[in-house]
Amino acid sequence: MTVDFELLFQELSSPYMVLDRQLCFVTANKAYERATNRSCDELVGRNVFDLFPNEGESGQRLKASFKRVLETGEQDTLAYIPYDIPRPESEGGGMEQRYWTAVHTPLADDNGAVEFIVQNTVDVTDLVRLRQAAHLPFRLDEVRLLERAREAERQHQDLHAESENFRRLFQQAPSLIAVLSGPDHVFTFANDAYMRLIGERAILGKPLTEALPEIEGQGYVELLDKVYRTGKAVSGEAGRALLQTEDEEKPREVFFDFTYDPIRDEDGNISGVFVQGMDRTEAVRTQKRQRLLLDELNHRVKNTLATVQSIASQTMRTARDLTSAREDLESRIIALSNAHNILSVQEWANAELSALVNQELIAYGPERYVCKGSWVVLNPKTAIALALVLHEITTNAAKYGALSTAEGCVRIEWKVDLKSGQLVITWQEESGPVVKQPDYKGFGSRMIHRVVEGELDGEFQAQFDSGGYSCRIAIPYEVAVQ
């Protein structure tokens, strides 16, 4: 079966036109003629801005878009542009306000220079008016497959040369395009984008189930059968498929928008199916990640609020007076906030232990402390818990220990003990005042034990020696990092 690409171009339901470097019309399909109320004969050879003048902002944006394509050789998209078009005299004449989405795609000559610009236009006037009537924000995703663009060259008198140009148009199109022939859906054409999606397999001349055997049982063969049998187009958004080439160890999940349109011969009989679509794999994965992040954020906010509530309750219960309660509560919430800041930079994926230590102690000056340890990346739960523990220990050092004097300093070291499978953190104060074990455990001390031993399933040991306060924190490594 020989594919007549000019016929396919004409029958596409989305408006397309081709401009040369002087921005004069080379050709346009039927959908474009209907959208602009102009026939192809009226368009060809005429400058686009002579036929559709616009000296306002929209006209300047359109000119700038064409200029970018000609200068850069890259595709350019105008996602939303108001642009008036002449109304036919039979309908009262004058100008009609319309709203559009346009994708401009360059088509290069044999030397790589941009020779033509293909415009795929979508009239979104009805959507805009609906939005205005309902006072809803305009959603670009309501315009399906906005990014579909086509490349084309000027029309040639010779039909063979013209078909070759249109073939190149479809071959280089950014959207997925394939032509299937007969009831077995034999591949007679597949463009570059389609080939990339399926893994560059040799599919031309093969039935669909032979070319892509893994597609059986996923529902797409049945949809193609329905289009071929009934002559009615079928479409879908973000359809999921599992693809697997011989070189791939396991199936690869892809998502795509698709439209299956019947192809008819000169007698009106269905001879095949025209497949077009857009690879949405990354977009769908991004949406899933965002949904997961939102769920995770909701969970973390609830946990954080519970932590703040607990800190506030315990602080007020054990405070000596209102002033000290306010100061203690404020410093503890700030420590919690600082841990959140570190996690936010990493998109709540992890936090590095040395960053937590430095953040807590940097205010006392780098000469007042030494931190030493291997690179350890903590999970969010452990990072927040250790941030609170480090804050309590540092606060005690600033009130009663080594950081309360000008000469005192602190040494913090950590390592992963492979034998015990623990992350071990040691805190040693030096050159500070003589310390002694307190007569009772305040909220800070109780919180340290509860966090380390309860939340992190670890161990906490503190010593009040004449040389200075010291403590040891041991946490199962798997709990800290996973």
- Over residues 36-87, the pLDDT tens digits come to 888 999 999 999 999 988 888 888 989 999 999 998 888 988 877 888 887 7
Which of residues 293 and 17 earns the better pLDDT score? 17
Entry pTM:
0.38
318 domain residue, yes or no: yes
Residues 6+ apart with CB under 8 A from 114: 21, 69, 70, 73, 106, 107, 108
358 CB burial (10 A radius; 0-12, 13-18, 19+): middle
| Together in a domain, 407 and 275 | no
Helix (H) or strand (E) holding 36: helix 30-36
CB 151 within 8 A of CB 118: yes
Pairwise CA distance, residues 178 & 93, whole Å: 41
User: Residues 269, 393: one domain?
Assistant: no
Amino acid at 63: K
Residue with tokens 């060809």: 44
Within this chain, do residues 295 and 264 fall inside the same structural domain, yes or no? no
Number of domains in the chain: 3
- For the CA atoms of 442, 448, 454, 457, the dihedral, rounded to the nearest 10 degrees, stands at -150
* Range of the structural domain that residue 187 is part of: 175-279
Q: Kindly state whether residue 166 falls inside one of the protein's structural domains.
A: no
Asked if residue 348 and residue 259 are part of one domain, the reply reads: no
DSSP letter for 440, please. S
* Residue 147 and residue 60 share a domain: yes
Please say which residue of 249, 279, 309 terminates a domain.
279
Of all residues in the chain, the percent with pLDDT exceeding 90 is 37
Summarize pLDDT for 269-316 with one digit per residue, the tens.
999 999 999 999 888 888 877 776 666 556 556 555 555 665 566 566
Cα Rg of the chain (Å, integer): 34
| Strand-strand pairing, 409-417 and 369-373 | parallel
| Any domain includes 170 | no
φ, ψ (nearest 5 deg) of residue 299: -65, -45
| 439 has a pLDDT exceeding 80 | no
Domain membership flag for residue 418: yes
Give the whole-angstrom CA distance, residue 37 versus residue 241: 40
Whether 332 is covered by a domain: the verdict is yes
Tell me the two tokens of residue 317: 């219960």
Q: CA-to-CA distance for 388 and 402, rounded, in angstroms?
A: 19
Each residue's pLDDT tens digit, 346-392: 554 577 888 888 888 877 788 889 999 999 988 888 887 888 888 88
Regarding whether 377 and 440 lie in a shared domain, the answer is: yes
* pLDDT value at residue 173: 83
CA 455 → CA 51, 420, 462, distances in Å?
Answer: 72, 19, 18
- Phi and psi angles of residue 145, each rounded to the nearest 5 degrees, phi first: 55, 50
Distance CA 322, CA 50 (A): 78
Residue type present at position 314? Q
The string of pLDDT tens digits covering residues 174-201 is 889 999 999 999 998 999 999 999 999 9
CATH of the domain at 234: 3.30.450.20
Q: How far is CA 21 from CA 9, 74, 78, 195, 203, in A?
A: 21, 14, 19, 30, 36
DSSP codes joined into one string, 38-101: --HHHHBTSBHHHHS---SHHHHHHHHHHHHHHHH---EEEEEEE--EEPPGGGT-SEE--EEE
pLDDT digits (tens, 9 = 90+) for 151-166: 332 333 344 455 566 6
